[in-house]
Amino acid sequence: MGSRRAAPVPSPFVSFAGYDLIVVGSGFFGLTVAERAASQLNKRVLVLERRAHIGGNAYSEAEPETGIEVHRYGAHLFHTSNKRVWEYCNQFTEFTGYQHRVFAMHDGTAYQFPMGLGLITQFVGRYLSPDEARAWVAEQASEIDSKDATNLEEKAISLVGRPLYEAFIRDYTAKQWQTDPKELPAAVISRLPVRYNFDNRYFNDTYEGLPVDGYTAWLEKMAEHENIEVRLDTDFFDVKDEIPAGTPIVYTGPVDRYFDYSEGWLGWRTLDFEQEVVQTGDYQGTPVMNYNDADVPFTRIHEFRHFHPERDYPKDKTVIVREFSRAAEKDDEPYYPINTAEDREKLERYRVLAKKEAAEKNVLFGGRLGTYKYLDMHMAIGAALSAFDNKIAPHLTDGSAINGDLD
């Protein structure tokens, strides 16, 4: 799948001249910048995408046997309280009324999640009023003073108590990080909210939904402006020397890769997926089931038919995807920054290089990979809109210098 102008043409045989802006990566940050430059400033934009499809990690496709839309790189749930971002996105897609809800499997029981009255009532085996639940959690959490916590385990116990920590946090966290929670810094879980009501909606944002026609259709719509060309199967590092000097570049790949890892390799977590077509109309009764126990190797199962109950999917088949988490190696797709103290030291050195690159070569770093920040989709779009307003548009209109800070 790709935009109608996206063509996997071998790069040495095509020209890079005549473009006002080069965007590296076709995820939400890159496409937002490209669309704004094309539609608002009438600039010619070339988007380079290393993969064979548009959209970065938000890409979705129909599973061929069932037709069920699958998010290839893990479930993407759109939500935001930013009205500007919401209105911007609605230019390219309508949204369903989907509200995300998750269940957590522990010791053979599926619990309501996040932590709230539903989960606590199930866990203790009787109804607790909001005040009773607060008192119960406070009693369990009194074992450790939060200010004295030195690692993730101690911090979590100080917030929700040992019983809930051991049932729902300890083993899930160990699987996510491939590290004993005692070895993780307390800051990783500095805030762990408990709802003292029965609201089990996962997100609290004002706006929420899934794109009616899917993520790929949404992303292709962003890229269909006549001033935008998308080249798939094109690695920026294979062609960067062909780009005319001084052409402004928005780079959304890994910042350490851009500088050839000169300041060290930044740590990332990656995900592995195991997809299966199951001969039933409904495998687990919910879009996402977390598996919190240590004896289950994966962290969760996605059943994508439940993301779009309004669609006419087969009644006798479904698609499930088991998700596994681990530390990324250099050839893996990076997903989430690990952000250890050592990573932050390296990042500060890359910040200096990025600022210099902006001043000397008009390169702006953006997106999750380019800034080494965990950004949800709405955050990436909001950051792109701000970067366009404050950095890219001034440069393209009056030649103002690009601020290369990784923000």
Does 9 have pLDDT greater than 50?
Answer: no
pLDDT of residue 28: 98
Q: Which H or E run includes 121?
A: helix 117-124
Q: Residue 320: left (phi > 0), alpha (psi -120 to 50), or beta?
A: beta
Is residue 335 predicted with pLDDT exceeding 50? yes
Same fold: 21-62+69-98+208-266+338-398 with 106-188 = no
Q: What is the pLDDT of residues 177-205, one digit of tens each?
A: 888 999 888 888 877 789 999 999 999 99
CB 1 within 8 A of CB 71: no
Q: State pLDDT tens for residues 83-129.
A: 999 999 999 999 999 999 999 999 999 999 999 999 999 999 999 99
Contact 393, 38 (CB under 8 A): no
Q: DSSP secondary structure string, 7-47?
A: ----GGGS--TT-SEEEE--SHHHHHHHHHHHHHH---EEE
CB 220 within 8 A of CB 2: yes
Q: Which CATH fold would you assign to the domain 106-188?
A: protoporphyrinogen ix oxidase, domain 3 (1.10.3110)
pLDDT for the residue numbered 193: 80
Helix (H) or strand (E) holding 162: helix 162-168
Catalytic residues, which ones? Answer: 191, 195, 269, 300, 323, 374, 376
Confidence band, pLDDT 50/70/90 cuts, at residue 404: low
In sequence order, the 6+-apart residues with CB closer than 8 A to the CB of 307 are: 69, 75, 98, 210, 287
- Please give the model's pTM, rounded to 2 decimal places: 0.92
Backbone φ and ψ for 32, nearest 5 degrees, come out as -65, -45
pLDDT score for 297:
95
Confidence of residue 260 (pLDDT cuts 50, 70, 90): very high
Q: Which bin fits 4, alpha (ψ -120 to 50), beta or left (φ > 0)?
A: alpha
Give the CA-trace dihedral at 288, 289, 292, 297, to 10 degrees: -90
Q: Which residues contact 195 (CB under 8 A, 6 or more apart)?
A: 114, 115, 116, 117
**How many angstroms separate the CA atoms of 42 and 259, rounded?**
31
291: CB partners within 8 A, 6+ apart: 105, 172, 298, 299, 300, 301
Residue range 359-398, pLDDT digits in tens: 999 999 999 999 999 899 999 999 999 999 999 999 999 9
The CATH architecture one would assign to domain 21-62+69-98+208-266+338-398 is: 3-Layer(aba) Sandwich (3.40)
Amino acid at 160: V
pLDDT band at residue 7 under the 50/70/90 scheme: very low
Cis link prior to 244 (omega < 30° from 0)? Answer: no
| Cβ burial 280-299 (10 Å sphere, 16+ → b, else e) | eeebbeebbbbbbbeebebb
Amino acid letter for position 359: A
- Residue 377's pLDDT is what? 97
* Domain locations along the chain: 21-62+69-98+208-266+338-398, 106-188
Rounded to 5 degrees, φ, ψ at 335 are -120, -55
For 63-90, what is the mean pLDDT?
97
DSSP 256-289: HHHTTTTT-PPPEEEEEEEEEEESSS-SSSSSEE
